Amino acid sequence: MASSVSGPRPDRVAVVGAGMVGLSTAWFLRDHGVEVTVYDRGEVASGASLGNAGWLTPGLATPLPEPAVLRYGLRAVLSPSSPVYVPPSADPKLIGFLTGFARHSTTARWRKAMGALVPVNRLALQSFDLLAAGGVAAPTVEAKSFVAAYRTARERTVLLEELEHIRSAGQDIDFDLLDGDEAREAEPCLSPRIGAAVRLHGQRYVNPGAFVHALADSVRSRGGEIRTGVKVTDVRDRADGATVVLSDGTTERFDAVVLAGGVHLGELGRKFGVRRVVQAGRGYSFSVPVERTPAGPVYFPAQRVACTPLGDRLRVAGMMEFRRPDAPLDRRRIKAIVEAARPLLRGAELDERQDEWVGSRPCTVDGLPLIGVTGSPRVFAAGGHGMWGITLGPVTGRLLAERVATGRSPAELRPFDPLR
Ligand SMILES: Cc1cc2nc3c(=O)[nH]c(=O)nc-3n(C[C@H](O)[C@H](O)[C@H](O)COP(=O)(O)OP(=O)(O)OC[C@H]3O[C@@H](n4cnc5c(N)ncnc54)[C@H](O)[C@@H]3O)c2cc1C
């Protein structure tokens, strides 16, 4: 069921942000025959969409605020080696965010938020298939195995409980349980320390940087324009259109504008009523050579470390650091990931790291993205997907493009109202 909104169909739309979300929106807008120009202050995929783990895992795409966050406790998050890190001198805005986040970390709110994600999770992988059928050249890879590994069966109960909650929220997720030997048989890169695992089925992964570049190429070949190295400094709303003000001092008029600036979404969105803070949950990654490339992603949930095979190397990613998005890469976090992963991986040369990277997950207090029309009928928001903007980027672009181009809002978008 879709709700109707009146207004003329826009012919020309600007998209701010050439990450997974902005480019997916541009791609699907071209499907509707809308002219698009995408602006990025950096390059294509210069934000969070580059060095992330690249998992396409609707089965795990759950709201970030969850009851375990409260159990984990504040004391743990102040240690630089903790997988979740808050600087001790947090500013008032960050304290406000964390307080709101803690308020949402209850079972009842998790269930409600999960209920909102299930319908878009269901459309996530088929939205990738639409991109592939429409000419996006980078492949999505079926994970032959996707192993979440633990030292002990006791540690694993946390994930089993979570999977039960995920299933009872209506999310399909198929898995089986492995002991340590079975896990190593499935993934020889697991060390003898691994004593129990969960193998997830039906998930995929991508090389996210390569994928987003292929998406950009496809947007261009379908007639869209992508302008990089230009920051959109303001959006001016008039009854007859929306004008973007660019960092080179020029302006350009469009019928509508989509704000998809990742962690910077709020900077332009605030004046259109988007009050929900988009906080940087910074994550780190690097790649290492491996003796045998794993058959699929490997996850160490207790350490919050995610590994993805990319070519002949393994990308290792982790950490949730609540800090300014432009703060420099903090080597202590890389070290923390290395030391967490070292006892659990076999045949990974963790000291031969390349591509060290930090990027900002765009996080919201309720763990739900902001997708839809703002206080202006000509300005739309698309972002705030936190941990899951790669998995949910294409479905977001697909549903939002429908809203922008037709004026009808798909029912799946209702819980993601950017003005909530
Ligand atoms: C370590 C790590 C691992 C992750 N693993 C996964 C995973 O396995 N699966 C998954 O689904 N998600 C994962 N994520 C989350 C995912 O990376 C993000 O949710 C997603 O990339 C967000 O995409 P986006 O397009 O909204 O933002 P971004 O990719 O950050 O893109 C926003 C773009 O907007 C541009 N921009 C901002 N403001 C302006 C402006 N004013 N003018 C012009 N341009 C502007 C920026 O330069 C940037 O290029 C991970 C994140 C991290 C950090």
- CATH of residue 247's domain is 3.50.50.60
Both tokens of 210, joined, read 């390569």
Over residues 391-416, the pLDDT tens digits come to 999 999 999 999 999 999 999 999 99
Number of domains in the chain: 1
Please give the distance, rounded to the nearest whole angstrom, from the Cα atom of residue 50 to the centre of ligand 1. Answer: 7
Residues linked to residue 290 through DSSP beta bridges, in sequence order: 348
**How many CB atoms sit inside 10 A of residue 419's CB?**
15
The answer to whether position 113 is within a domain reads: yes
| Integer CA distances (angstroms), 67 to 115, 161, 303, 325, in order | 16, 12, 17, 26
Q: Is the CB of 184 under 6 A from ligand 1?
A: no
- Residue 146 placed within a domain: no
Of 15, 37, 40, best ligand 1 pocket probe by most atoms within 8 Å of the beta carbon: 40
Contact present, 187 and 147 (Cβ < 8 Å) = yes
In short, whether 373's Cβ falls inside 6 Å of ligand 1 is no
Q: Is 41 in the pocket of ligand 1 (CB under 6 A)?
A: yes
- CB of 22 sitting under 6 A from ligand 1: yes
The answer to whether residue 238 sits within a structural domain is yes
30 lines ligand 1 (CB under 6 A): no
> What's the pLDDT at 244?
98
| For the CA of 47, the nearest atom of ligand 1 | 30
Say what the pLDDT of residue 1 is: 47
Closest by CA position to 141, among listed 149, 132, 151, 150 = 132
Residue-wise pLDDT for 109-121, tens only, equals 999 999 999 999 9
Q: What percent of the chain has pLDDT over 90?
A: 85
16 ligand 1 Cβ < 6 A: yes
Query: For 56-70, 183-197, 207-221, which range has the lowest pLDDT when averaged over its residues?
Result: 56-70
**150 CB within 6 A, ligand 1:** no
Taking only the tens place, the pLDDT of each residue in 11-69 is: 999 999 999 999 999 999 999 999 999 999 999 999 999 999 999 999 999 998 887 76
- Supply angle C-alpha 266, 268, 273, rounded to 5: 70
pLDDT at 356 exceeding the cut of 90: yes
- Protein residue with least CA distance to atom 2, ligand 1: 52
Nearest CA to ligand 1 atom 16: 389
Residue 78 pLDDT: 61
Q: Does any ligand 1 atom lie closer than 6 A to the CB of residue 20? A: yes
Q: What is the mean pLDDT of residues 369-379?
A: 98
390 Cα–ligand 1 center, Å: 8
Residue 85's pLDDT is 80
Ligand 1 atom, smallest distance to 46 CA? 49
Residue 125 placed within a domain: yes
| Cα gap 384→170, rounded to integer Å | 23
Q: Domain range holding 265?
A: 1-65+105-138+204-278+366-420
Q: What is the pLDDT of residue 335?
A: 96
Tell me how crowded residue 71 is: count the other CB atoms within 10 A of its CB.
Answer: 10
Q: Residue range 371-388: average pLDDT?
A: 97
Pocket test for ligand 1, best of 310, 360, 390 (most atoms within 8 A of CB): 390
- Does any ligand 1 atom lie closer than 6 A to the CB of residue 297? no
Residue 240's pLDDT is 87
User: Is the per-residue pLDDT at 75 higher than 60?
Assistant: no
Average pLDDT over residues 323-343: 95
Question: pLDDT value at position 8?
Answer: 73
CA distances from 223 to 31, 137, 230, 259, 362 (A): 11, 16, 20, 20, 29
- Tell me what the mean pLDDT of segment 174-180 comes to: 97
3 band by pLDDT with thresholds 50, 70 and 90: low
Instruction: Fill in the amino acid letter for 389.
Output: G
What pLDDT score does 67 carry?
Answer: 78
**Which whole number is the average pLDDT over 131-160?**
96
* Per-residue confidence band for 7, with pLDDT thresholds at 50, 70 and 90: low
Residue 387 maps to a domain: yes
Looking only at the bridges linking them, the beta strands covering 225-228 and 35-40 are: parallel
Instruction: Let me know if residue 60 belongs to a domain.
Output: yes
